[in-house]
A and B are shown apart, each in its own frame.
Chain A
Amino acid sequence: MNNAVAPTIEYGTLAPMLLVFGAAVIGVLVEAFAPHYVRKAIHVPLTLLSLAGAFALVIVQIVQGAVPTAPVAMGAVAVDGPALFIWGVILVLSFVCVLLINDEGHFVASAAAVPGSADEEEAEAAGVTHTEVYPLALFAVGGMLLFPASHDLLTMFVGLEVMSLPLYLLCGLARRRRLLSQEASMKYFLLGAFSSAFFLYGTAMIYGYAGTVSFTGINESLATGSLLDPLLLIGFALLGVGLLFKIGAAPFQAWKPDVYQGAPTPVTALMASGTLVAAVGALLRVFWVALGNLDWNWRPVIWAVAALTMLVGAIVAITQTDIKRMLAYSSIAHAGFLLIGVLATFDKAQENAKSLSAILFYLLVYSITTVGAFAVVTMVRDPGGEAGHLSRWAGLGKRSPLLAGVFAFFLLAFAGIPLTSGFFGKYAVFAAALSSGAERGDSLGGWMTGLVVLGVVASAVAAFFYVRVIVLMFFSEPAADGPSIAVPSMGTVAVIAVSLLVTVGVGLFPQPMLDLANQAASSLFVR
């Protein structure tokens, strides 16, 4: 009766992810057993080294060219070219975000204390710090690695939860404006829990249709089964809601501004970059791999979502008065641009590499610029914390021309002005979409051109609010009691410098990064 086969786990291939999870577990043990005064001294090197080590392991796999051509870990995880690229990007982003987290003064002394209470003051006076943020961040990063690399719906759900749960907590830990932070945390948790439930319910439906949760299996049953089965369509819609929620696409974008504003800025940076990258990766895998044969059904839906997302993001951003909320809406608009790329599918699978490479490239350049922009936000401070209100940024260009100049450059990159990295990202996605629409017999055809035109209209609208911040910073007179510019730590300086370097460098010479993305995309997702 003993015919159960021991599962095979490709430890080498999964090593980057395992390293991050392992370090997170060690971090928890440190919390439990190390005295509080040495915790930070252990956490910081542990976290940074594990992220750097995981990145090195990713590089080793790419250099060795030993990219698996089949799912590993019994078909649960797919470590293919795109996954390795996404891992690399996420690890770099989380490394720089940890450098931001490392700065003093972002996190509350005692999260459990009622805001404004004596308990809180006491904790603050005692210099207590929540060093749990490091292992929490590591767990979130681990989830981000698993989420886009999972090859069946259940593993993907686990990845989604492992990524999200620590983030819900981290959102509530802002030191200043506690109530806003707690509200953000609560909202994110409730809405996130709903969306997870949608995802899980969709998984069940799809299982009912296909009899399997594996992407390969779903794809195969779609090739032979009915495409109008209610189970399939309901399942697809529910999965879509869960995934689109995570990237903040309209009409599921409502959480983004509140959460981005309330969360401690380094955590916002991590969510705006790492989570977005992971979620887009997962979305691609579900729609292209599992539901690839259903594209006549999902492309029109995503078309509408993309159009709505771009317009809502760009238009509502105009009315924002808080810099972090504005960046949140900007992130929504960019999610819309990314969805244009998701739509750009071709008849021949190999041609999809073009769109995939465009999306990967876009994710890379956008997320790095985003981290840089939030790093600048952490430096502009009022006595009560960060100077969030836009009016406080007036005249920053005169007070601190270098910082304002760097921020202006990031904004121009978001706007997609040529000679910044953002332009080439947008160009790549638009070009992929137009050539997909030009394909003979494409199900969307001319609609793709229409979407790209909508995309440029949204870009023009978006340019307005980016430019408005530049006007404020450079063309307005500084307020008499303007914000102070915090003396940045080495970490913050490094983050801004790296992100500026990439934004400028890729803006002038995008080819090396495009080569990387092309190479990663050429193998496509494993099926």
Chain B
Amino acid sequence: MSPWLPILMAVPVLGAIVVALLPKGSDKLAKQVTLVVSLVVLALTIVMATQFRTGGPRFQFQAAYDWIPSFGVKFGVGVDGIALVLIALSAVLVPIVVLASWHDADGTQSADGTLITPKRSVKTYFSLLLVLEAMMIGVFAATDVFLFYVFFEAMLIPMYFMIGSYGGAQRSYAAVKFLLYSLFGGLLMLVAVIALYVVAGKGTFMYPELIGVIKDPATQKWLFGGFFIAFAIKAPLWPVHTWLPDAAAQAPAGAAVLLVGVLDKVGTFGMLRFCLELFPDAAKAFTTPIVVLAVISIIYGAIVAIGQTDMKRLIAYTSISHFGFIVMGVFAMSQVAQSGAALYMVNHGFSTGALFLAAGFLIARRGSPYIADYGGVQKVAPLLAGFFLIAGLAGLSLPGLSSFVSEFMVMIGTYSSTAFGAGALTVAAVISAVAVILAAVYILWMVQRTLHGPTAEPVKAFKDLNAREIVVLAPLVALIIGFGFFPKPLLDVINPAVTQTLVNVQVDNPAIAEKGAGQ
């Protein structure tokens, strides 16, 4: 019984209660408390991460308390390498988002004095943010499938209110669409979760005890379907992606970062954790259609991104393309591809986070998300332009930046995957490589139209980044560059978990089977 994970979840919940109970008019205090709480969570996460033994058992910091004995449900938590890095990602992003959203609920005005967003309750926003943080940690830490489901669904609600109450003009449409898509997927998963419990007949939802229990291939396929549809909507994968551009474009920049950077990762994380290991035969049987969907997502997302006129929608579509890469890596069933996919989940969080935030700072100055309303920002606000450029380059996976490592691993791992016979996935890898060129088009074209060229009239009044905004972007850029050159610490943590996953999936690959046996 390790208290780490329950404490990590309890701190933000307590923080949220404190923030919500602050008296009226203490907006500034609410922000400060939120920032301190999120920094405490970050500090605790770092200390916990240093104690993670990469050669140790798969699940560490385990704790399980009886929660609902009647249903066989435990409050069971524990992390493997993949969950650990995703929790760390959440813990890093939340304080950054808190700082970035400092004035989001205050009511913002553009340079020429028009109201962009009206004043709204600051306390509510920040306590929702902290509740969301607790749930993000919980969803990755849950080792009880039921508990995972509870967080999976419950975390929609704070995000729903953050989009619906604090977002742009079309916010209520976007919030409802987001909620209903996710809820529908989640409910199908609920049926699969119950059926898993009934069919397994073990009287428990604890994940380690359910691995390899479902033997019947037909049952596996049905249950796999229930889980996979939920995760595909969450990730999202073409053709169930349409909620993401709306939600991301309407959400305030900070919420968009958490939505795309963390919440959507629950989908790909779930595929890797639950779909593969609980239903290995089904996963292998469905690999071809899923990889096809992933490749469509990669190409479709990239092409549609090129055509976008709204910066946030553009970033959302690039993410759909990147999620395609992650899903392809997960289902390529090779060590390199899956490690790359897990690493991609983290790196995408940093790069897209930086891109959304930099775009958010641009939008906050001009009051318009449309690319056409900008131009020549470079001359007026060189710092902002510089950060925007680096974030963009990370988005197109420039070598030397972190996303390059993971994208390269996914592609090479898919190309050389022997799980389905040598060369079976080669075509997928080759087609997806086209997206690298498309990525250069959508990012560089956006950069060119916003940062360069003649300075548009309203842009001339732009102020460059202030100290707070630099503090927001600098750590992300540092991480992007740092992990671009030195991804080893992350990979060391991720690799054993991936190996174990592949052993449980029993991929017909002697090299891995041998390596796995040594674990």
Q: Which A residues are CB-close (under 8 A) to B172?
A: 471, 475-476
Q: Which B residues are CB-close (under 8 A) to A424?
A: 68, 71
A41-49, A62-70, A97-105, A412-420 - the one binding chain B: A412-420
Interface membership of A212, Cβ < 8 A: no
Pair B179/A474 contact, Cβ less than 8 Å? no
Closest to A508 in B: B67
Q: Which A residues are CB-close (under 8 A) to B156?
A: 417
List B residues 134-154 near A (Cβ within 8 Å).
149-151, 153-154
Q: Which A residues are CB-close (under 8 A) to B151?
A: 418
- Complex Cα distance A254/B149, Å? 36
Interface membership of A435, Cβ < 8 A: yes
- Complex Cα distance A514/B195, Å? 21
Q: Which A residues are CB-close (under 8 A) to B121?
A: 401
Interface membership of B183, Cβ < 8 A: yes
Interface membership of A347, Cβ < 8 A: no
Interface membership of B188, Cβ < 8 A: yes
Interface membership of A431, Cβ < 8 A: yes
Pair B180/A438 contact, Cβ less than 8 Å? no
Interface membership of B190, Cβ < 8 A: yes
Pair A514/B149 contact, Cβ less than 8 Å? no
Number of interface residues of B (CB under 8 A): 34
- Complex Cα distance A515/B69, Å? 9
CB proximity of B218 to chain A, nearest CB, Å = 11
Interface string of A448-464 (1 = CB under 8 A from B): 01001100110110011
User: A412, A434, A471, A511: which contacts B195 (Cβ < 8 A)?
Assistant: A434
List A residues 422-452 near B (Cβ within 8 Å).
423-424, 427-428, 430-431, 434-435, 438, 449, 452
Given A449-B191, A460-B180, also A471-B68 (CB < 8 A): no
Pair B187/A460 contact, Cβ less than 8 Å? yes
Pair B171/A475 contact, Cβ less than 8 Å? yes
B36-44, B157-165, B478-486 - the one binding chain A: B157-165
Given A434-B194, A463-B179, A471-B164, also A511-B69 (CB < 8 A): yes
Q: Is the interface of A mostly helix, strand, loop or mixed?
A: helix
Interface centre among B149, B171, B175, B187 (most CB of A within 10 A): B187
Pair B69/A431 contact, Cβ less than 8 Å? no
Interface membership of A518, Cβ < 8 A: yes
CB proximity of B26 to chain A, nearest CB, Å = 16
Pair A417/B157 contact, Cβ less than 8 Å? yes
Interface centre among B70, B176, B188 (most CB of A within 10 A): B70
Pair B199/A438 contact, Cβ less than 8 Å? yes
- Complex Cα distance A460/B121, Å? 29
Pair B194/A427 contact, Cβ less than 8 Å? yes
- Complex Cα distance A515/B156, Å? 29
Q: Which B residues are CB-close (under 8 A) to A468?
A: 176
Closest to B197 in A: A431
User: B67, B154, B164, B191: which contacts A456 (Cβ < 8 A)?
Assistant: B191
User: B165, B179, B188: which contacts A467 (Cβ < 8 A)?
Assistant: B179
Closest to B188 in A: A456
- Complex Cα distance A192/B156, Å? 42
Interface membership of A510, Cβ < 8 A: yes
- Complex Cα distance A383/B199, Å? 57
Pair A518/B165 contact, Cβ less than 8 Å? no
Q: Which A residues are CB-close (under 8 A) to B149?
A: 418
- Complex Cα distance A511/B194, Å? 18
Pair A467/B191 contact, Cβ less than 8 Å? no
Interface membership of B198, Cβ < 8 A: yes
Pair B150/A438 contact, Cβ less than 8 Å? no
Pair B153/A438 contact, Cβ less than 8 Å? no
Interface membership of B445, Cβ < 8 A: no
What are 10 A-to-B residue pairs whose CB atoms are below 8 Å? Answer: A418-B150, A434-B191, A456-B188, A456-B190, A464-B180, A471-B176, A475-B164, A475-B171, A509-B67, A514-B68
Interface residues of A (CB under 8 A from B): 357, 401, 412, 415, 417-419, 423-424, 427-428, 430-431, 434-435, 438, 449, 452-453, 456-457, 459-460, 463-464, 467-468, 470-471, 474-476, 509-511, 514-515, 518
9 nearest interchain CB pairs?
A456-B187, A475-B172, A418-B150, A514-B70, A460-B184, A475-B164, A418-B154, A418-B153, A435-B198
- In addition to A424-B71, A514-B68, 18 A-B residue pairs with Cβ atoms within 8 Å of each other are A412-B157, A415-B183, A417-B153, A417-B154, A418-B149, A418-B153, A423-B153, A431-B71, A449-B191, A457-B187, A460-B183, A467-B176, A467-B179, A468-B176, A475-B164, A509-B67, A514-B70, A515-B70
Interface residues of B (CB under 8 A from A): 67-71, 121, 149-151, 153-154, 156-157, 160-161, 164-165, 171-172, 175-176, 179-180, 183-184, 187-188, 190-191, 194-195, 197-199
